[in-house]
Amino acid sequence: MANENYVLTQEGKEKLEEELHYLETEKRAEIGERIKVAREFGDISENSEYDDAKNEQGMMEARIAEISRILSEATVVNAPKRSSKVNIGSTVTVDMNGRERVFTIVGGAESDAAEGKISNESPVGQALLGCKKGDEVTTTGPTGRDITLTVLKIEH
């Protein structure tokens, strides 16, 4: 994982910077206050509030370190304003086995399937990169079955 090349869109970079700022300022102070209050309960060896706050602090500090590493190592890609091909940052409407789906191709660090943001490293993302409107591609999905995609529209 140390040699992983992170690819981010400008929007993804800004979201990570906002999350980092929030964690380093508001969240860090909030957890510090929880630890302080929990210490006041007395013996910290049997204090579940203290343990919970310390665990949350550890997870938050790990997330801060992860975001900092991603931002320092990431390559920010600007989607071309005019292109007939699918690139990182493109929003693509496809016919996927008879269902119309909309995906935005992003770097792995900012992918979120619930929001329709798929990684350029995912099977579908890889298959769509470089395609033009009207192209039909077939890729293997996570369950091992073939998925046929027809590019209906590309937006940048």
Q: Among residues 80, 156, 92, which one has the least CA distance to residue 128?
A: 92
Q: What percent of the chain has pLDDT over 70?
A: 96
Residues 93-119: tens digit of each pLDDT = 999 878 999 999 998 888 888 999 999
Structure tokens at 35: 């630890």
Query: Which domains can be identified in the chain, with CATH numbers?
Result: 5-74 (1.10.287.180), 78-153 (3.10.50.30)
Q: Do the beta carbons of residue 103 and residue 88 sit within 8 Å?
A: no
- Segment 7-33 mean pLDDT: 93
pLDDT tops 70 at residue 138: yes
Q: How far apart are CA 80 and CA 5, in angstroms?
A: 21
Q: How confident is the model at residue 84 (pLDDT cuts 50, 70, 90)?
A: confident
Kindly indicate the confidence band of residue 2, based on its pLDDT and cuts at 50, 70 and 90. Answer: very low
pLDDT of residue 79: 67
Unique residue bearing structure tokens 């937006």: 155
- Asked if residue 3 has pLDDT above 60, the reply is no
- The span from the CA of 34 to the CA of 71, in Å, is 29
| pLDDT higher than 80, residue 80 | no
Which two tokens mark 18? 């906002």
What is the 3-state secondary structure of the chain? Answer: CCCCCCEEEHHHHHHHHHHHHHHHHHHHHHHHHHHHHHHCCCCHHHCHHHHHHHHHHHHHHHHHHHHHHHHHHCEEECCCCCCCECCCCCEEEEEECCEEEEEEEECHHHCEHHHCEEECCCHHHHHHCCCECCCEEEEECCCCCEEEEEEEEEEC
